[in-house]
Amino acid sequence: MTDCLFCRIVAQEIPSRKVYEDDSTYAFEDLDPQAPTHVLVVPKKHLPGLKEATSGDAEMVGRCHLAAAEIARQRGIENGYRTVLNVGPGAGQSVFHLHVHLIGGRQLHWPPG
């Protein structure tokens, strides 16, 4: 999708601070980090968000979470991190390409707010 910010980042048309890549996912540092580790993990295939996902997208969504777990291991934050999917504008989603926020490296409180 040519007008999608994250598709353009995956295609390397827009620079990012890449931290991980495999056949189906791409991960990069968030530009407005909310914790010492704040990485966005996106599928390479465009999907606007979780509410648009179908059962055929289950593997893609799962792979994003598995990539987040691998990055957490690499960064040594396995004792506590959060994966977050913001779904829709009311939840704070501002880029409509599914993405998992990996947040960690500090004490995380509940409820998140």
Query: With contact defined as beta carbons under 8 Å apart, do 32 and 103 qualify?
Result: no
Q: Considering 38, 65, 97, 99, which one is annotated as catalytic?
A: 99
Residue 39: CA count within 13 A, CB half-sphere: 27
Is 99 one of the catalytic residues? yes
Which residues pair with residue 102 across a beta bridge? 39, 83
The catalytic residues are 99
